[in-house]
């Protein structure tokens, strides 16, 4: 499969320009969009954080995990329980939500170390199926089917805009934190270690890589991203219930990763926008055939952009030149092993 990404030597200027353009665009959106659309964008950013975590597992370390929705639920309910049951400030619950999900990720990662490929995918998808049932069983804390209402934090006195804009800014800050951590991990020695683990674990181990510790660390970081995303989702949505975290949530996150581009940081945001907005637009066309329209959009995406929207942008850049460089700045160079991982992920959708 052909490589369709910017070369490693070129990226710093394009990456900086891409970050500046992205931040500038995010900064002006609150002045241009109505409150409802701003809410949708906030939810999109929470999905993007969960997709970034999955990209770390699937795209960079080669582990096919379908439990991201369960980690998302763990973070959401950690925030919901601490805020609704124990009176915590919702913002103070966010670090706890990330840590709780990371701890669950490590517990799941321990038995998963002996598995790989489709076996790991099936095991982790089973966890995603168990999560809503566990929420129902813990009714004393979760309120069962009734769900939990969360009081949204009021903006501080110095903040000049509305509560909706404040929540949006919180989501932007969370997403920016995840992007910075992701860049820190996938560039330099850590990134090379992850790619060695993905491409050939035996050689990586022979070179001194501790496979167990590295895989558990990746599980922890990935699930921590999803936990932070879930906590912000609970705050933005102001209500959570088991119906919000069915196994389909993990599939949505997987779809976002594939549509955006596996192992692409920028693609995580494109994929998140796809899974948030396209189903709604499909239902607006005709509620009776909304699912059909959404499915056709997915089929079209896989036919026209097999390597995701970030990969498509990279193809356009190769064709039309450096003018599109900012849009492909986050696309990691593809390897045959990464392509094989994407084929595995396609098989699980």
Instruction: Give the domain CATH number at 207.
Output: 1.10.3470
- Classify residue 214: in a domain, yes or no: yes
Angle (nearest 5°) at CA 71 between 69 and 72: 60
Mean pLDDT of 102-112: 87
Highest mean pLDDT among 95-109, 113-127, 306-320: 95-109
Helices (H), 238-335: 248-260, 265-285, 290-304, 308-320
Is residue 84 a contact partner of residue 150, using CB atoms and an 8 Å limit?
A: yes
- Classify residue 4: in a domain, yes or no: no
Q: Residue 51 gets which letter from DSSP?
A: H
- Classify residue 237: in a domain, yes or no: yes
For residues 319-336, b (16+ Cβ closer than 10 Å) or e, as one string? eeeeebbbbbbbbbebbe
- Classify residue 49: in a domain, yes or no: yes
Distances from the Cα of 167 to the Cαs of 38, 205, 224, 300, in angstroms? 9, 44, 20, 34
- Classify residue 18: in a domain, yes or no: no
pLDDT confidence of residue 126: 92
- Classify residue 22: in a domain, yes or no: no
Mean pLDDT of 150-167: 87
Given a cut of 60, whether residue 104 has pLDDT beyond it is yes
First vs last C-alpha separation in the chain: 21
pLDDT confidence of residue 323: 52
pLDDT mean across residues, the chain: 81
pLDDT confidence of residue 317: 76
- Classify residue 24: in a domain, yes or no: no
For 337, the domain range is 32-343
Percent of the chain with pLDDT over 90: 38
pLDDT confidence of residue 340: 47
Handedness of CA 153, 158, 162, 164 (dihedral sign): negative
Number of domains in the chain: 1
pLDDT confidence of residue 177: 92
**pLDDT band for position 11 (cuts 50, 70, 90):** low
pLDDT confidence of residue 6: 39
Highest mean pLDDT among 59-68, 165-174, 201-210, 301-310: 165-174
Mean pLDDT of 313-320: 76
The values of phi and psi at residue 264, to 5°, are -120, 125
Q: Is 163 helix (H, G, I), strand (E, B) or coil?
A: helix
Token look-up 């997403």 returns 175
141 token code pair: 């804390």
Which comes out higher in pLDDT, residue 222 or 330?
222
Is residue 250 a contact partner of residue 348, using CB atoms and an 8 Å limit?
A: no
- Classify residue 236: in a domain, yes or no: yes
């Amino acid at each position: 499969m052909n490589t369709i990404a910017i070369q490693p030597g070129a990226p710093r200027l394009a990456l900086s320009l891409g970050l500046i353009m992205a931040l500038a665009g995010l900064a002006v959106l609150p002045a241009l969009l109505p409150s409802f659309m701003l809410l949708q964008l906030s939810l999109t950013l929470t999905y993007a954080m969960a997709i970034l975590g999955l990209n770390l597992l699937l795209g960079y370390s080669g582990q096919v995990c379908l439990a991201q929705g369960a980690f998302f639920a763990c973070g959401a309910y950690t925030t919901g329980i601490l805020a609704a049951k124990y009176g915590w400030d919702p913002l103070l619950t966010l670090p706890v939500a990330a840590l709780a999900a990371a701890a669950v990720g490590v517990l799941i990662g321990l038995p998963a170390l002996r598995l790989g490929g489709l076996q790991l995918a099936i095991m982790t998808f089973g966890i995603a199926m168990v999560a809503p049932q566990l929420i129902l069983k813990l009714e004393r804390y979760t309120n069962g089917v009734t769900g939990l209402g969360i009081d949204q934090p009021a903006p501080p006195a110095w903040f000049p805009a509305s509560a909706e804009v404040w929540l949006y800014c919180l989501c932007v800050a969370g997403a920016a934190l995840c992007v910075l951590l992701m860049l820190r991990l996938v560039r330099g020695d850590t990134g090379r270690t992850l790619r060695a683990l993905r491409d050939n674990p035996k050689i990586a181990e022979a070179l001194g890589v501790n496979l167990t510790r590295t895989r558990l660390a990746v599980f922890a970081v990935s699930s921590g991203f999803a936990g932070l995303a879930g906590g912000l989702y609970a705050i933005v949505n102001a209500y959570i219930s088991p119906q919000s975290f069915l196994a389909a949530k993990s599939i949505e996150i997987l779809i976002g990763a594939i549509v955006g581009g596996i192992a692409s940081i920028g693609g995580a945001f494109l994929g998140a926008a796809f899974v948030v907005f396209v189903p709604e637009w499909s239902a607006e066309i005709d509620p009776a055939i909304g699912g059909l329209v959404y499915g056709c959009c997915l089929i079209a995406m896989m036919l026209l952009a097999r390597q995701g929207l970030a990969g498509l942008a990279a193809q356009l850049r190769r064709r039309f030149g450096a003018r599109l460089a900012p849009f492909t700045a986050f696309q990691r160079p593809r390897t045959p092993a990464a392509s094989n991982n994407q084929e595995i992920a396609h098989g699980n959708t």
